[in-house]
Amino acid sequence: MYYSPKYEAQWGLPPRTASRMTKEFLDKLGFNELFGHHVVVNVRNDWELIINTRNPYAVAASMWILIYKNRKKNNRPVPTFLEHTLELDRPTYGIPPEIGPSYYLQIFNRMPDRVIRYENFAEDIMNVPFIKNNSSLLQNEIDKLHQGDVPWMDDYPEEVKRPYYEFYDQELANIVYRQRKLEFDNFGYDPNSWRTLVK
């Protein structure tokens, strides 16, 4: 969890929601990190709450691709996307869906004051007043953002560098929707969006 007494803000960074890029901005602004950037801690109820979010179907696919990459790299058995998704119903496996954006809402017991959507990331983050007002300080991060660099994807296997809709069918979409329904409900994502999802 990131927080700043100076800006009276706390910022939740669920996995696979452009958390690393956001972290670069917050580090430069002097935000404090509490227990790691994915950890959820309510620092102050009276501070602005900002949360990154992303289409739940994309989060699910992205999480599986990361596991696929890491296991393949280490010559370990790789679950199919369906196997991985079904395993998420078991709370001891990996990062359960509850650690998505809706889990943050349960901890804070309120909706965020501002949502940073992965799908609209550059515009959303630049509309945060303390980001916009520090654009000179953040020029390197802003340049990187507009270049669209994602160096951590360089070593991803070619077979997973595909549009996300190719990983889905109706059965798998139904499972992800059930697991992450709170995110669809709270952030307004379309239950049929898996059909055209690119990333």
Give the model confidence (pLDDT) of 13-69 as tens digits: 988 899 989 999 999 999 999 877 777 777 888 999 999 999 999 999 998 888 888
Full-model pTM: 0.88
Partners of residue 114 on adjacent β-strands: 50
Mean pLDDT of 57-83: 86
pLDDT at residue 154 above 60? yes
CA 25/CA 59 separation, integer angstroms: 21
Cβ 9 vs Cβ 3: under 8 Å: yes
Q: Which of 101-105, 130-134, 170-174 has the lowest mean pLDDT?
A: 101-105
Rounded distance between C-alpha atoms, residue 171 and residue 43, angstroms: 39
Scan for tokens 């951590």, then name that residue. 152
What is the rounded CA–CA span in Å between residue 141 and residue 160?
A: 27
Q: Residue 42 in 3-state DSSP?
A: coil
* Residue among 138, 151, 113, 167 nearest 20 (CA): 151
pLDDT band for position 87 (50/70/90)? confident
pLDDT at position 93? 46
The answer to whether 28 and 138 have CB atoms below 8 angstroms apart is: yes
Q: How many helices (H) and strands (E) does the chain have?
A: 9, 5
Terminal alpha carbon distance of the chain: 25
How confident is the prediction for the chain on average, in pLDDT?
87
Query: What single-letter DSSP state applies at residue 75?
Result: T
In which residue are the tokens 């990983």 written?
Answer: 167
